[in-house]
C-alpha cells in the first residue's frame, strides 16, 4: 500500500490557467512533507512543510499542509509552458531522514 | 550551493556485469541515499546511509549493495546486472536539518 498518494497523475492545462495538485499521506510518525519539481533531470526542491495551515509561497507557486486531513496541495497560478514538469510529493516519516515519494503528477501546460 | 555529482549520466552494461554507480557530495552531509525512478512507479528508495560505513536497506534493496567508506562518497553496486535494473538512478544527500538534494541522475541500460 502506498504511503504517499498524489492526484491527479497527469494534467493538461492552457497557459494562464491555475492548477491544484494534491498529495495525501499515511499518518504514521509524520515529520515533514516536501514538494519537488522534476523536468528532464534531477528533482529540484520547491517547499518543505512541517506545520499545518501555514502557506509557503514562491512566486506563482504556493503550498499548504493540512495535518488533520493528512494532505497537502500545491497551487500554481497563471501557469506558463515552463511549468511543464513532474511534480513530486515526498513525506519524511520518523527518523532516518529517508523520503517516501508519491508517483508524481505530470503537468503539461500548452500555449 | 550544495553539489551532488554522479559519475556517469548515461551507462550501458551487459547482463551479468558488475556495475558501480558513484555519488559524491561536497556539503559534509551525514545522510546519503540511492533511489531508482521508473515510469509509473515514481522514486523508490534502494539504500541509504546515515554515517560512514553505516547502511540501511530501503524499499527495494534486492540485487543491490552499497558502500560508504568516506563521508562524501556513496556507491551503489549491482553485483550482477539484470535487464530489470534498467532505470534512472538518483543519488541524494541531506543533513539532519536541511532538505534533500539530488544529483543529476544516471540512466542505466542493461542489455
Interface of A with B in 66-105 (CB under 8 A): 88, 90, 96-104
User: Measured between CB atoms, does A48 come within 8 Å of chain B?
Assistant: yes
How far apart are the C-alpha atoms of B82 and B47, rounded to whole Å? 18
Average pLDDT of the residues in A53-72: 94
- All three cell numbers of A104, joined, read 508524481
- To the nearest whole Å, the CA of A56 is away from the closest chain B CA by 15
Mean pLDDT, rounded, for B86-96: 92
Give the closest residue to B37 by CA, choosing from B22, B15, B59: B59
**pLDDT tens per residue across span B15-73:** 999 999 999 999 999 999 999 999 888 899 999 999 999 999 998 999 999 999 999 99
Q: Is A5 on the interface with B (CB under 8 A)?
A: no
Query: Average pLDDT in the A8-36 region?
Result: 92
Q: What are the angstrom distances between the C-alpha of A80 and each of A9, A36, A110, B72? A: 19, 17, 8, 38
- pLDDT-based confidence at residue A40 (cuts at 50, 70, 90): confident
Question: B9 versus A97: which is more confidently predicted?
Answer: B9
Amino acid at each position: 500500500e502506498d504511503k504517499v498518494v498524489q492526484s491527479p497523475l497527469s494534467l493538461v492545462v492552457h497557459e494562464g490557467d491555475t492548477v491544484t495538485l494534491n498529495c495525501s499521506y499515511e499518518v504514521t510518525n509524520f515529520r515533514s512533507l516536501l514538494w519537488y519539481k522534476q523536468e528532464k533531470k534531477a528533482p529540484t526542491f520547491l517547499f518543505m512543510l512541517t506545520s499545518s495551515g501555514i502557506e509557503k509561497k514562491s512566486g506563482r507557486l504556493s503550498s499548504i499542509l493540512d495535518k488533520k486531513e493528512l494532505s497537502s496541495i500545491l497551487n500554481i497560478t497563471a501557469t506558463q509552458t515552463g511549468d511543464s514538469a513532474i511534480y513530486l510529493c515526498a513525506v519524511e516519516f520518523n527518523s532516518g531522514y529517508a523520503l517516501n515519494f508519491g508517483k508524481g503528477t505530470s503537468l503539461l501546460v500548452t500555449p | 550551493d550544495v553539489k551532488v555529482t554522479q559519475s556517469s549520466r548515461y551507462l550501458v552494461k551487459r547482463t551479468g556485469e558488475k556495475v558501480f554507480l558513484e555519488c559524491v557530495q561536497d556539503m559534509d552531509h551525514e545522510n546519503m541515499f540511492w533511489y531508482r525512478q521508473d515510469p509509473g512507479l515514481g522514486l523508490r528508495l534502494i539504500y541509504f546511509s546515515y554515517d560512514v560505513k553505516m547502511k540501511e536497506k530501503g524499499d527495494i534493496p534486492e540485487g543491490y549493495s552499497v558502500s560508504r567508506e568516506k563521508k562524501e562518497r556513496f556507491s551503489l553496486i549491482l553485483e550482477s546486472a539484470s535487464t530489470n535494473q534498467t532505470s534512472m538512478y538518483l543519488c541524494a544527500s541531506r543533513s539532519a536539518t536541511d532538505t534533500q538534494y539530488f544529483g543529476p541522475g544516471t540512466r542505466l541500460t542493461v542489455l
